[in-house]
Amino acid sequence: MRKGQGNVIIATIFAALFLAFVLPLATHLYTSYTANIKTPYSQALADVVIQVAQRASEQVLAIYNESNTVLYILNYRGKPLDIERLIVTVSCIEGVRVASLKPQEVSIPSGQQKVLNLSQAVALVLQGCTKPNTTAFYIVTQQGTVIPAEVISLRIVQELQTEAGTGFLTRVGGGEKIVTALPIPIKSADQLWNISLLQAKGFTIATLDSMTSPAILTPDSTLVSSSGMRSAGFSWRLVRVTSGSITVNIGTVYNLWFGYDPRNTSKYNIMFTTTGYSPCSSTTLSKVKIYGFRSSLTQGVLQISNKWVKEPSQDVANYTFKNTNLYLTGTADRIEIYCRDGSGEVSYNPYTMLMNTVRSEGFAGLLFTTIDRSYRASLSSVPDGDTSRLDYSSKPFALVYNYSISSKQYTAVAIAVNYRFHDAEGLDADGVKSDLPIMLVGLAYRDGNVFRVYSYRSFTFRELTRYEDTYPPTAQAQSAVVFIPLPQGVDREFHVFIAFQDPYNYVQSGSYYYDCVDFTLYVENLSILPFR
Amino acid sequence: MKKAQSELLATVALIGLALVMGVAIISLVGSTIASYRDQVLLMNTLNTEVSNTFVNLITYDNTSNRLWLLLKRLDGSRIDFFIAVAVDSQYIPCSNVRYYNPVKDTDSIMCNEAEDCPAAQQFKLASPGSLYVPYEGSIVSFADFVRARNYGLSTTSSIPICIVKNVCNLVSIPGLCANNTIFVVSIPSGARVVRIFTFTLFNNNLYLVNVYEVRLS
């Protein structure tokens, strides 16, 4: 081998080693570097940020009261809540406004609550806004979180407003309206003493063909003039109507019902029963109805059992079965004296009174009572002491409210009724052989001259007597909501009705008497909630 | 040729070869690392932007078809926002995007005065191929991204890229800026989905950093 050949071999080995090790190394470097570049791009991170922001809104309780423009915030998210601004959406007749408010206090530590009064800031936003309605409220934090606040409004419980043109009382709330049939709106010139007044307040006075299985409501105005109520013996006879000064000072008053005069709540409506009230004869059961009474004494309205009564009780049975002395003196707009010496059928007028047990001027509830004298505690006696004083209905008294609910426009109706009931049957449900309806609430539609009952809910004696105590007298406040879906595909105008009656005269079985219930029913409220 | 001459020649040739190869390898590794650094920087920027910038819905006013949103930079910098807005299958022009300027608002009601809500400026009308999206580990074009996500958007029509000014540039507040930028988008009635695309600018290219979706129905 020559000397130069060895060098060439060395050079070849060197080149081979270089190609075998260095080049792959460099290539590996390149691929591994570029592979490392492919770090997962974290799209999910943004989602996490937003999720955290959204979770924050669940840990903050915010309520905005539209009525007094106060924002309540309770922060319990474990870190301070730094408010940057408040975003309010207000809907006006002129259009929608989206406003940005800067509150004074901006940081609320965790576990604390703040009340922010925004009256000044909101007043600026509401300038030139007709019928403002806050539709949405948001808190924007410095971290970019958007926290919705619950908006509450007192519109629902605000004053009743008359629907334009119709005269019906409606309230707009929760997207739907509430139509109030009872209490009825009363003006100062209204003649409360005749329940025919109800006809001028949007009601049709009618009677039902049957209270146990009602089908037809027939308008019947004689219920307020001459018919509807009977008694086993004598009937009520109106003997005197006066006005002006009155003084009652009697040793025994049996029952007394009393409320505010809806025309003027500084006056009172009073009804009481006694014996021998002039001009009734000395042994004749008497009933006195006093409208618009104003006491001339400052101690109270009237004195019963030598104790002054300053205001009516919401429990209408509070002054029932008293058998004690009564004293009152003052002036009255109208005094009616009834003697129990008439005969034949009479109207519902002697049994009813429009009054109010709460001081809300301009609104009246309806009181109906057949209690005259006393309750009974055993089957061998009768309430009111004598079968001749037991009253009962010959025709149910029904009120059909003229407000019509179209099945085209609405899918269902909820009828809410608030009432009080008190009876003179000390044995309650055990004193009756048959359970009969006292009150009905339902829907009817017009068919020619009559109304046909579409659906109803009955309130029978056994149900009503469960929630009262005959003695000591207690008429519990009771209420019910009757939900009636409307027929679809039929174009019909429905009307809400309420009907009541005293179905019980008496049944004698040996020395025992059954079905001789007399009672008091006071309907405070009848509201209609149509659903779209 | 003499024997000594041939040895010298061989040695020179070997040294020359070694030098050439060495230089080639150094430049190869150097350029690889430089391009790697560029890509790392891009990825870092995108990752920072993703965790820094977000969109949040405030409210939707369906009476005037306006969508109120906020843009937020968590790092407190004053960089303006590059966004594109798509409503269902259409991109909407920058004139439909307005941002709230609290300095010019005198009555607290947003966007009812002449100057309290300037319209967003159009940065450029970009073709979907000239926008980039970091997607599934690599960089793809916006057109491919839109197709992959099945957004139902056109992959050929130009996209108006709008500049929403960071509110911190409207108000002279020293130091870091922590405020939210509120903006409003006017959308056609009956819209079902609104998508807000946020972009960031890197080496004169726009990269998508976020998509915020609002479903209206």
Mutation for testing the B interface, residue in A51, A138, A146, A151 having most B CBs under 10 Å: A146
Residue B179's nearest CA partner among A141, A103, A88 is A141
CB pair distance less than 8 Å for A140 and B57 = no
Burial code (b: 16+ CB inside 10 Å, e: under 16) for A363-400 equals bbbbbbbbbbbbbbeebebbbbbbbebbbbbebbbbbb
Question: Mean of the pLDDT values across residues A109-136?
Answer: 85
Q: Write down the pLDDT at residue A199.
A: 93
Q: What is the CA radius of gyration of chain B?
A: 26
CB pair distance less than 8 Å for B108 and A124 = yes
From the list A41, A84, A142, which residue is nearest B46 (CB)? A41
Question: Mean of the pLDDT values across residues B66-89?
Answer: 90
Question: Mean of the pLDDT values across residues A259-276?
Answer: 94
- pLDDT beyond 80 at A40: no
When mean pLDDT is compared over A285-289, A404-408, B176-180, the highest value belongs to A285-289
CB pair distance less than 8 Å for A98 and B102 = no
Q: What are phi and psi of B79, to 5 degrees?
A: -65, 135
**How far apart are alpha carbons B28 and A24 in whole angstroms?**
13
Q: Minimal Cα–Cα distance from B126 to chain A, Å?
A: 22
Is A7 within 8 Å of chain B by CB? yes
- pLDDT beyond 80 at A198: yes
Question: Mean of the pLDDT values across residues A441-459?
Answer: 94
DSSP conformation letters of A384-405: GGSGGG-EEESS-EEEEE---E
From the list B50, B58, B134, which residue is nearest A146 (CB)? B58
CB pair distance less than 8 Å for A29 and B13 = no
CB pair distance less than 8 Å for A29 and B32 = yes
- pLDDT beyond 50 at A172: no
CB pair distance less than 8 Å for A143 and B72 = yes
Mean pLDDT lowest for which of A59-68, A278-287, A351-360, A477-486? A59-68
Q: What domains does chain A contain, in order, with CATH numbers? A: 46-152 (2.60.40), 195-233+347-531 (2.60.120)
CB pair distance less than 8 Å for B28 and A26 = yes
Mutation for testing the B interface, residue in A2, A7, A21, A106 having most B CBs under 10 Å: A7
CB pair distance less than 8 Å for A98 and B40 = no
Mutation for testing the B interface, residue in A22, A37, A89, A127 having most B CBs under 10 Å: A37
Q: What is the pLDDT of residues A225-257, one digit of tens each?
A: 999 999 988 999 999 999 999 999 999 999 999
pLDDT band at A1 (very low <50, low <70, confident <90, very high): low
Is A33 within 8 Å of chain B by CB? yes
The amino acid occupying position B173 is I
Q: Is B109 helix (H, G, I), strand (E, B) or coil?
A: strand
pLDDT band at B31 (very low <50, low <70, confident <90, very high): confident
Could you tell me which residue, B14 or A19, shows the higher pLDDT? B14
CB pair distance less than 8 Å for B58 and A96 = no
| Chain B positions in Cβ-Cβ contact with residue A101 (cut-off 8 Å) | 108
Residue A58, H or E segment: helix A43-58
Handedness of CA A161, A163, A167, A170 (dihedral sign): negative
Asked if this assembly's ipTM is beyond 0.90, the reply is no
Q: Is A8 helix (H, G, I), strand (E, B) or coil?
A: helix
Break chain B down into helix, strand, coil percent, rounded to 5: 30, 35, 30
Question: Mean of the pLDDT values across residues A514-520?
Answer: 94
Burial code (b: 16+ CB inside 10 Å, e: under 16) for A34-66 equals eeebeeebebeebeebbeebeebbeebebebbb
Q: Is A182 helix (H, G, I), strand (E, B) or coil?
A: strand
A 139-158 residues inside an 8 A Cβ radius of B: 140, 142-146
Question: Mean of the pLDDT values across residues A277-298?
Answer: 94
**How far apart are alpha carbons A435 and A456 in whole angstroms?**
17
Q: Write down the pLDDT at residue A457.
A: 92
- pLDDT beyond 80 at B57: yes
Q: Write down the pLDDT at residue A490.
A: 83
Q: Write down the pLDDT at residue A47.
A: 55
Question: Mean of the pLDDT values across residues A20-26?
Answer: 67
| Chain A positions in Cβ-Cβ contact with residue B25 (cut-off 8 Å) | 22-23, 26
Average pLDDT along chain A: 85
Question: Mean of the pLDDT values across residues A519-525?
Answer: 94
Question: Mean of the pLDDT values across residues A106-122?
Answer: 84
Question: Mean of the pLDDT values across residues B111-136?
Answer: 89
- pLDDT beyond 50 at A36: no
- pLDDT beyond 90 at A4: no
Q: Write down the pLDDT at residue A438.
A: 96
Q: Minimal Cα–Cα distance from B134 to chain A, Å?
A: 7
Mutation for testing the B interface, residue in A5, A48, A49 having most B CBs under 10 Å: A49
Q: What is the pLDDT of residues A370-385, one digit of tens each?
A: 999 999 999 999 998 8
CB pair distance less than 8 Å for B54 and A89 = no
